[in-house]
Amino acid sequence: MGISSSLFDGWVAQGLMPKGIKINGVVLYDAEQLRAAWQDLVESGAANSQDDNNPFNGVIA
C-alpha cells in the first residue's frame, strides 16, 4: 500500500481497514479484504484527501 504501519493501524482503528486475526502473536490479514477496503478508500476519495493538507506537496528535493 505504500503507507506506514502507524497510518495503517490508525486506519484499522477508524474502521477504514479490516482488523487482522492474531495467530501465535502474529497479526494476519486477508488480502481480498484489504483490496476491497483499499478500493473503497480510492472510490470515496479518502485515500487522496489526506494529501491536501501536506505542507510538502509541490516541494522538489
pLDDT in tens, 28-54: 999 999 999 999 988 887 665 555 666
17 close to 37: Cβ distance less than 8 angstroms: yes
59 pLDDT tier (thresholds 50, 70, 90): confident
47 close to 38: Cβ distance less than 8 angstroms: yes
Q: Across residues 11-33, what is the average pLDDT?
A: 94
pLDDT of residue 53: 66
Phi-psi region of 24 (alpha: psi -120 to 50; beta: other; left: phi over 0): left
